[in-house]
Structure 1
């Protein structure tokens, strides 16, 4: 329901509901960061200090309705990448690491555009075989991008209602 709100409704909700909570949080942080008896080298003191120094950045979402309230989508999108890193000890060269990073980037971009990564990779390889290495015309590359309307249906996830 919140995602279908207009930018104005989203900002209004944030200013009326979330901003007072943010104000109270930072007030509490500033009160407690300065308390005597708090070990300045503790993790709590470090966290309080971090919040104080990042306040202007932590409040940006109150002014821009397009900024999400959390980073759950970003966390979800890198989860498979983080799980995969346990196997990366077999990548022992810079070229191997760069190739892996490129493939992960393409796969995650495909997912973000509601494509089936395996089908999309298959299609890319089929199409790229027709051109010399590193010499694909720009207008053809545009057609291969994950957001291209020209991709075949087999690459797209089925839309569920």
Structure 2
């Protein structure tokens, strides 16, 4: 799950207000799962954790997210509903350390980046195997690296100024450590949440072209269309061809109780030039 800004015109104020698109993505291809990939965007007027909670009514299991504090509502003592476990993102950890290396000599941060790179190299070799094989590979090859990194983390936190950029980066890693190492316990979990971030990137780019939605209902429609287009891309389906065929089918009386047939992953025309 991830979220991104959605500017919406605020009637009467001659300004825009900031709403948010919340994205829920599923992509089982890295572990050879049987469910087709897809993403669902919904619009909300804010970024508070209450909006994530509302969108996850009835969901239980593992949710992969970044370090945004709003998701803590899903696992805190006041949580309402089914059990949710949060898996965190190693890509965000790596970015924080890389940023430090760009500002000068930073041997500790450079070492951290190298350690994370070793995890990613293992993941690249395990990608496409079934979940059991991925889990076995991680236990055999990655678990010791993660354990060593925890020792590294504890050691350097004791000697680095808390308020320094490196100190803050190390504190971030420590705060989310339990969720960062969760990928070692389940072969279905990815090492990062890049799968959902990739679906959000076109939204951010389109924001520069569309500027804003005209009203809340327009933002909700924008989210619906984005869900269809980005799910088409995930399934290597040409979005224009899909939308054309689907709207034509609806106009011609396609029955609502057969909507499954109109979902992007069931569209027969595959476009070779679409990226997965």
TM-score (norm 1): 0.78
Q: Distance in 1 between matches of 2:272 and 2:131?
A: 29
In structure 1, the residue matched to 2:137 is 13
Distance of aligned partners of 1:43 and 1:128 in 2 relative to their CA distance in 1, 3 Å threshold: farther
2:74 aligns to what? none
Shift of 1:76: 2.8
Which residue, out of 117, 136, 146, partners 1:22? Answer: 146
Deviation (angstroms), 1:82 = 1.9
Distance 1:117 1:28, change over 3 A: same
Which entry has the higher C-alpha Rg, 1 or 2? 1
SS of the aligned residue for 1:64 comes to coil
- The whole-number CA distance in structure 2 between the counterparts of 1:8 and 1:156 is 30
3-state secondary structure, aligned to 1:147 = helix
Partner of 2:200: 78
Query: Is the 2:126–2:137 Cα contact (8 Å) retained in structure 1?
Result: no
Runs of 4 or more consecutive aligned structure 1 residues displaced over 6 Å after TM superposition: none
Distance 1:140 1:5, change over 3 A: closer
Give the number of aligned pairs.
149
How big is each residue's C-alpha offset from its partner over 1:112-156, in whole Å with a ceiling of 9 and x where there is no partner?
Answer: 22211110011111122245xxxx7442212111223xx3x3x32
The equivalent of 1:145 in structure 2 is 263
Deviations 1:41-96 (A, max 9, x none): 33322221221121111111111111122334333333222211212324231122
Specify the alignment match of 1:101 in structure 2. Answer: 223
Higher percent of residues as helix: 1
Which of residues 166, 191, 208 in structure 2 aligns to 1:69?
191
Q: Which structure would you say has the larger RCO, counting Cα contacts within 8 Å and 6 or more residues apart?
A: 2
Write 1 or 2 for the structure with the bigger share of strand.
2
- Counterpart selection for 1:114 from 221, 236, 239: 236
Provide closer, same or farther for how the CA distance between residues 70 and 142 of structure 1 changes in structure 2, counting only shifts above 3 A: same
Q: Structure 2 length normalisation: TM-score? A: 0.48
Unaligned runs of 5+ in 1: none
Residues 1:92 and 2:214 are matched in the alignment: yes
Change in Cα spacing, 1:41 to 1:4, as seen in structure 2 (3 Å) is closer
Secondary structure of the residue aligned to 2:153 is helix
Shift of 1:158: 4.4
Whether 2:255 is the aligned partner of 1:157: answer no
